[in-house]
Structure 1
Amino acid sequence: MTKFRPCIDLHNGSVKQIVGGSLSADGHGLLTNFESDQPAAYYAELYQKDQLRGGHVIKLGPGNDEAAREALAAYPGGLQVGGGIHLENAAEWLQAGASHVIVTSWLFDAQGHFLPERLGQLVAELGRERLVLDLSCREQDRGWVVAMNRWQTPTDLNVDSASIQELANYCDEFLVHAADVEGKCEGVDARLVEFLGQHSPIPVTYAGGANAFEDLETVNRLSAGRVDLTIGSALDLFGGSQIRYTDCVNWNRGT
């Protein structure tokens, strides 16, 4: 059954909800849907109280390490962490309390060429059971393409059946933001959800576009219960009006 997975998105040390496609290195053109007056640890403590596991803390650029560490310390073993993760710091984030580290950009060179040897190094260092691969993607003429550098740079790695099957041998889960709809609250990418449900042999969490509580049932139906859903900007917890956090908690409890 599809589960609701919580999130803590960090930008400049604050919990924010951002339109994914607007996130650039210099901050120009950034579209922010919500900025919290609560620290990251507040959300981590809430998720722990409500027994929500497997959520992700994403550091969107620099200036977020302290807030991320505070969240992980507030809910040790209950959250994954991503953003700027590489071979030299991955173990430190696990020691800080993350259940898994989430990796994308470090697996590519500056031109977006996939470097499988780096993935092998991470698995040797951490074990595949502590690793989540972020296959957040944009749709191009050749299909879905992994996007790195805050979802701005397309890579040469397609998100297709062959790549999903192969990469599943090197990680515990996938995280897939549909970057084209992330933060827009215009509905989930049904084709991508269905594809992930059909082809991923390991757990996968989808994020992007959710705008109604019924999206949990939609994702459950499209993926035959094999894809979990993260909800951000539409959630009342993050200033949204379309989806109540308590309803999502009760969905996970089966009530």
Structure 2
Amino acid sequence: MMNWQRKYPLHGWLGFLLVAVFWFLNWYLEGLRTHLAFFPLWLGYILAVDGLVFMRKGTSLVSRSKAGFILLFVFSVPFWWLFELFNTVLQNWLYTGREYFSDIAYALYASLNFSTVLPAVFVTAELVATFRLRILDKPVWKTGRNLPLVFFISGWTMLFLFLVWPRIFFPLVWVSVYFIIEPVNYRLGFTNLLQHTEKGNWRPVWNLWIGVLACGFFWELWNYYSWPKWTYNLPYLNEPKLFEMPIAGYLGYLPFSLELFALYNLLTGIFRIKALKNYLHPE
């Protein structure tokens, strides 16, 4: 039951403190600083939002399973390195300031910072899920049982297209992984979104989409005055921009959230790890 009167947890207050301190340090210190400030800033965001979730419904990612919560950080690292691997072909974004770090130092700092992506998206999606919104809870289009096969074939086709002709098909990187992985989860009986959309229930999808857009806003906002920072260089759709991100690029966050969800459930299913289930539904 949702209750704003529930006591806000200590880890949430710690999160707000980390955001306040490291947001200031990340924007106003001179010289290199973001490689040190990024992780505590986003850890603060994650803890603060998780605290709001706990206050809203009496449970949260942290309170349900601290080990599972930490595992999100671990899984997040290879997930984002996969997209970094794709970007060696696409060259859609680059990190200014990379030249100040050795390869080993860069890999370590990058991995630490990449670890925050998955928990940030999941905890924000869970916060969205605590709100009952009639427009999002209404049953809509029911996806058919043939969709997994269509997804799987389309996903591999899209992967081929953006790897062979990256200047034309680069946006497909944010769709192809989901189209490939989701049918595998569906076939193997792992947690997946299609099991909900087959019944016309799109609420888990909406929660992920709204959650990742909120994260995307803060990723781009906090990156704007960072150093080192990332910048974008798209073959087209490069203008106009909100912060460093082209406006059209924010649409890529939507399927990206689905890819994170699919990859997470694939790994937890393969290794028989107890997944953090049922957090995408309003309670």
TM bracket, shorter-chain basis = under 0.3
Normalization by structure 1: what TM-score?
Answer: 0.26
Larger radius of gyration: 2
Structure 1 or 2: more strand by fraction: 1
- TM-score (norm. length: structure 2): 0.24
Does 1 or 2 have the higher relative contact order (CA < 8 Å, sep 6+)? 2
Quick check: which one's helix share is greater?
Answer: 2
